[in-house]
A and B are shown apart, each in its own frame.
Chain A
Amino acid sequence: MLTLLFDGIAYGMLLFVLAVGLAVTLGLMNFINLAHGAFAMAGGYITVLLMNRLGVPFLATLPLAFFGTALIGAVLEPLLYRRLYGKPHLDQVLFSIGLVFMAVTGVDFIIGSTQQNVTLPAWLQGRFDIEWVGIGKYRSFIIVVCGVLAVALQWVLANTRFGSQLRASVDDPRVASGLGLNVNRIFLLTFAVGSGLAGLGGALGAEVLGLDPTFPLKFMIYFLIVVSVGGTTTLTGPLLAALLLGIADVAGKYYVPKLGAFIVYTLMIVILLIRPQGLFARAGGGK
C-alpha cells in the first residue's frame, strides 16, 4: 500500500510539472490552452530521439528537452497565441484543439505511431527495498527532480523581481503595463518556461506514462483537472491537486481496475460542483 502511495506521489509530482505551465498560462493570459499536452509530447520525443538515434545519455537529454520545448513555445507565443489573448474562450478552445490535432497527426506522419521506448540508465533502474516497501529508483528520481523544480518555481515567484512582475501581471495586466512592466515580455518568458516544463515533464514521463502520438489527447484531461481543481492563483493549489489526482488514479486503478479512470473523473466533477473555482483558489476570482 505504501508503494501505491509512493507511486501515486511520483505520478502526482510528474503531473504537477506537466500541468504547471498550463495553470500559469490560464492565470496570466486567461488563455485556455488545450494544446499544452503537445508541448509535453514534444519534450518526450526530443529525449527519445536524442537517446535512441544519437545515443545521448538520458540525463543530458533532460535539459535539452526543456530548452527545446521552451524554444518552440517562445516561437509560437508571439506568432500565434498572442493574437488570441483577448478573444472569447470558445475561440481559444477551438484554436488549441486545432493545434493538438495538427501536432498529433504531424508526429504520427513523421515518426510513426508506435510507442517509443526509453531505456533508462542502469543506476535509475530497479528498486530500493526498504523493509516491506519497494521504492522504484526511477520514481524516486522523478519525485526529487519535480520537488526541486517546485521549490525553485516557488522561490522565483516569491523572491525575484521577475516573480513579482509576474504576480502583478496576473493580478491585473493593464495596471502592470501602465506601471511600465513589459507585459509582452513577461508573457513570452512565462509561456516559454511553462512549455519547457511541460517538455521536461514529457521527457521524464516517457518511461512511466508511455509516449506515442496520442499522448496529448490522452492526458489533456488530466492536466485540465489539475488546473481546474487546483486553481490558477497559487502554485501550491495545482501541486496539491496533482498529488491528489495522482494518488487517486493509481489507487483507483489498483483497487477497482474495472472502473479505471472513472473514479478520477467523478472525483473531479464532485469537487467542481462543491467549489467551482477549484479547491484552492481565492474565492471570487475568475470569470
Chain B
Amino acid sequence: MTAVAQSLRAHAAWHWWEFALIAALLVSWLLLPSQALLLNEIAILALFALSLDLILGYAGVVSLGHAAFFGIGSYAAALFAKLVMPDPLVGMVVAVAAAAASGALCSVLILRGTDLTRLMVTLGVASILYELANKLDWLTGGADGLQGVVMGPLLGRFEFDLGGRTAYAYTLAVLIACLLLARKLVHSPFGYSLQALRDNRLRAGSIGLSVNTRLVVVYTVAAAIAGAAGALLAQTSGFASLDVFEFHRSAEVLLVLVIGGTGYLYGGIFGAIVFKLLHDLISAWTPQYWNFWFGLFLVVLVLAGREKLMRPWTWFGSKA
C-alpha cells in the first residue's frame, strides 16, 4: 500500500484508547450499580455534547440554542409516552424524528449571515420554543412541567427500576450507537467536507462542494442526536420540564464540549465526565452560587487558552 493510502487509512483506524473508553463505559454499568443514576446523567449529557460537536467542532457553526432540539426530543418523548403508548423505543424513534425534522427546518436559518446572526437565530429559536412550551400549558404543563410520564418496559422485558440500572443500560446503548454512527460520518468524505467547510467555506465551494446541502444534513443529524438525548432524559426521569429549552442548558453543553475538546468526537464524553463531577463537587459546597464558579471557570478557561485544558503538559509554558 502506498504511503498516501496508508496515511489516509491510519486516520480512520481505531485507536487503542477508543476501545478502552467504550470498554470502560460498559464496565461501569457492571461495576458501579449504585451510581447508575449519576452515570445516566453523565451519559445523557455526553450524548448531547456529542451532537453539538458535529456542528461546532466539525462544521464550525456556533450555536447558542442547541437546547432547542434537546427540548423537542424531551417533550416529544414525554408526550408520546403519555398520550399514545409508553414503549420507550417507539417513543425514541418518534422523538428523534421530531427533532430531526425541526433540525432540517431550522438549518435554513444558519446558512447565511455572520457568526452573530447565527448566534442570534439559534438563540431565538430556543427562546421561541421556551415561550411556546410555557404558554401552551394545557399540553406541556407549562412552568410545572409534564409530570407522570410512566414508561413501559424496554424491549417488552426490562422494567425501568428505581436504581436506574435499566435506564443507564438504555442510555449507554444509545450513546454507543450514536458514537459509532458519528464516527463513520466524520471519517468519511462527508465528514472531511464538513471540516473543509469549517476551515474555509470559500475554498470548500471552490473545490466543488455544495456548502448549503452539507450544512442542512449535519444540522439535521446533530438535531436528531440531541433529540435522542432529550428523549432519554424524559424517559429515564419520568418528566419533561421547561428548563430543557433554557439558555443555561445551551451554555452548559457548550462548556462541556469545550472542556473535553472540540473536533475529535470524544470531547463530549470526557467533558461530560469532568463537568458533572466538578458540578456535583462544587454544588455540594455552595448550592446557591454554583453559577458563579461556572462563570469563573469559563472566564479563566478562555483567558488561559481553551486548547490547553485537556493537555496538562502545556499548563506551565511549553510548546503547544
Contacts and interface: CB of A to CB of B under 8 A. Distances in A.
Contacts of A102: 292, 295-296, 299
Contacts of A104: 291, 295
Nearest to A227: B116
Which 4 residue pairs of A and B lie closest in terms of their CB atoms, listed nearest first? A98-B298, A276-B113, A101-B295, A105-B292
A261 B124 CA distance: 10
B108 A273 contact: yes
B64 interface: yes
Interface stretch (B41-49, B83-91, B213-221, B250-258): B250-258
B302 interface: yes
Contact of A277 (B117, B132, B247): B117
Contacts of B258: 90, 94
B131 interface: yes
A95 interface: yes
B37 interface: no
Given A26-B116, A221-B124, A262-B135, A106 B292 contact: yes
Interface string A119-150: 00000000000000000000000000000000
Interface size classification for chain A = 35 or more
A228 interface: yes
A97 interface: yes
Interface in B112-161: 112-117, 119-121, 123-125, 127-128, 131-132, 135
**Chief secondary structure at chain A's binding surface:** helix
Contact of A93 (B64, B121, B124, B294): B64
Interface of A: 26, 32, 80, 83-84, 87, 89-95, 97-106, 108-109, 217, 221, 224-225, 227-228, 258-262, 265-266, 268-269, 272-273, 276-278, 286-287
A222 B23 CA distance: 47
Contact of B251 (A97, A106, A258): A97
Interface of B: 56, 62, 64, 108-109, 112-117, 119-121, 123-125, 127-128, 131-132, 135, 247, 251, 254-255, 258, 288-289, 291-292, 294-299, 301-303, 306
A228 B294 contact: no
A109 B295 contact: no
Contacts of B108: 273
- B123, B127, B295 — most chain A CB neighbours (10 Å): B295
Given A32-B116, A276-B117, A98 B135 contact: no
B62 A89 contact: yes
A83 B255 contact: no
Contacts of B303: 80, 83-84, 95
A101 B298 contact: yes
Contact of A32 (B113, B115, B127): B115
- B116, B117, B127 — most chain A CB neighbours (10 Å): B116
B299 A99 contact: yes
Nearest to A98: B298
A86 B98 CA distance: 39
Given A224-B120, A287-B115, A269 B302 contact: no
21 contacts: A90-B56, A90-B62, A91-B306, A94-B298, A97-B251, A97-B298, A98-B294, A98-B301, A102-B295, A104-B291, A105-B289, A106-B292, A259-B131, A260-B131, A262-B135, A265-B124, A265-B127, A266-B124, A268-B120, A276-B112, A278-B117
A68 to B, nearest CB: 22
Given A109-B292, A269-B125, A94 B131 contact: no
Contacts of B251: 97
A214 to B, nearest CB: 11
Contacts of B289: 105, 108-109
A105 B287 CA distance: 12
Given A84-B302, A93-B64, A258 B135 contact: yes
A12 to B, nearest CB: 18
